[in-house]
Structure 1
Amino acid sequence: MRISLVVSIIACLGLAACERGKPPSEQLRDSVEQTIEGVAKTTVSDGLEAGPFAPRDECSKLSGANEFRNALGLIIAKRDADGLMALTDPQVKLDFGGGFGHATLRERLDDPQYRLWEELGALLDLGCATNAEGDLILPWYFAQDMKVDDAFGAMLALGNKVPVRRVAADDGEVVEHVAWDTVDLVEGYSDEPFLKVRTRVGREGFVAREQLRSLVDYRLIARKGEGGWMIEVFIAGD
């Protein structure tokens, strides 16, 4: 799996990935920028060609997009709620049940039911796409045709060599490796450590839940206005 933004920041603050002598604010900024820039370099990993839905960066060509994402990364690392509001439309859409706006977003940021800081951090690791309107979309795969019949019954394998095992165990025999591609849930989603899946070639097996992501998990849509890029949608589900 990719190293998450949060893990990267922790390593940086522990001086494992930062230059000694730099002020902490500069170290933090550099770590965020390196993490986001690294998304564009995921086409090859461990000598393997990336799968069809490996994170890609289509947004660097958009004016101000890199600055927006770098600012968002710093805000996430600092858990800066005020900073997040400054990058978010006051009417931001947060769910399909009528939830919207700054007040609701603030309430949910630290709510363990939503874990929105962690969800935001995960998005920055998953690439960036654009649409015909010129919007910025995180993650990259959400703007793609995933070629699945049921988006709720499919998951994305997060890595270039995700093992599908014969039994639900870390040492189970590997029947196939999946590279940044979708798999179908055989028995539905659960909180178990392993989920039973079917790959595109029809093999069934078990994949560690932490190596899978729902196709309708959180996504973010930002639009550029007179004041710069603003988050207009931050939502999960369909």
Structure 2
Amino acid sequence: MKNLLFTLICFSTVNLSAQGEFLPPKMEISDYSLSKFLTELTLAVGKQDKQFIVDHLDPHILNNFGGDGGIDEFKMQWNLEGDSTNLWEILENILLIGGPGHISSTYENSYTLPFTFSDWPEEYDAFEHYYVLGNNVNVRDKPTTENSEVIGQLSYQIVKISDIEENRISEETKWLHITTVDNSLSGFVYGKYLVSPIGYRMGLIKRNNGWMINMLVAGD
């Protein structure tokens, strides 16, 4: 969780090199109340503070696309009453990726992060593309760091999932075979550096008593 301390800095200006494919927005948030809440949320996730999360859930929170929603469903889905939950890992990843620098222009007083969902370019199919989150991420000729060669590097750009047998991240290897959108490079990238635009995202809404979490879902 120490990486979340770095996330607090990420709500200031972040300039990223997109190499022509995708330039992440500057994560400067003009709304002070939102910036303050994101800082508090980041600290709460770092401390695994269940009560803070529950206290800031919207009564009608969307938890999945098949349920009824609500706080009780959230608690059950994330096993908050149990001994273990992967909620903290999910929230940490969302916060580490970061959100856009703007409140939604479609829905007043709402905010969705990470930016890989909220600001994803429409010209790239969300089911066929991933985002390389990192600077100089190695692309290898084999899905391993042993006996493989680095054939290129990618920084903060969109890539296409290759239409071959290895076109999925396996639970065993965690590698994905990708191709750059200009077809100049094709190889394997380790899964921790790849973000799906339809992966987990969190929605926030501003109520009279402050910002609340009104969505935590994945998929489409």
TM over 0.5: yes
The counterpart of 1:7, out of the listed 2, 6, 21, is 2
Compute the RMSD of aligned alpha carbons. Answer: 2.4
Measure, in 2, the Cα distance between the counterparts of 1:151 and 1:219.
14
Measure, in 2, the Cα distance between the counterparts of 1:155 and 1:113.
29
Superposition deviation, residue 79 in structure 1 = 1.8
Asked if the contact 1:148/1:154 (under 8 Å) is kept, the reply is no
1:233 and 2:209 correspond: no
Pairwise mapping of residues 79-90 of structure 1 onto structure 2 (< 5 A)?
79-90=48-59
The counterpart of 1:57, out of the listed 27, 32, 36, is 27
Measure, in 2, the Cα distance between the counterparts of 1:178 and 1:112.
39
Asked if the contact 2:14/2:27 (under 8 Å) is kept, the reply is no
- State TM-score, norm by structure 1: 0.76
* Matched pairs, number: 205
Higher mean Cα deviation, 110-119 or 214-223? 110-119
Q: Secondary structure at the match of 2:97?
A: coil
| Residue aligning to 2:125 | 150
Percentage identity across paired residues of the two chains: 26
| Residue aligning to 1:141 | 116
Name the one with the larger helix percent: 1
Displacement over 6 Å in runs of 4+: 111-114
- State TM-score, norm by structure 2: 0.82
Asked if the contact 1:218/1:234 (under 8 Å) is kept, the reply is yes
Asked if the contact 1:167/1:206 (under 8 Å) is kept, the reply is yes
Q: Secondary structure at the match of 1:42?
A: coil
Structure 1 pair 55–217 and aligned structure 2 pair: CA distance change class (3 A): farther
- AA matched with 1:144: D
Q: Residue deviations 1:69-106, cap 9 Å, x none?
A: 12211221222222111111011001111252111222
Q: Secondary structure at the match of 2:26?
A: coil
- Unaligned stretches of 5+ in structure 1? 1-5, 10-30
- AA matched with 1:200: V
Measure, in 1, the Cα distance between the counterparts of 2:156 and 2:145.
20
| Residue aligning to 1:102 | 71
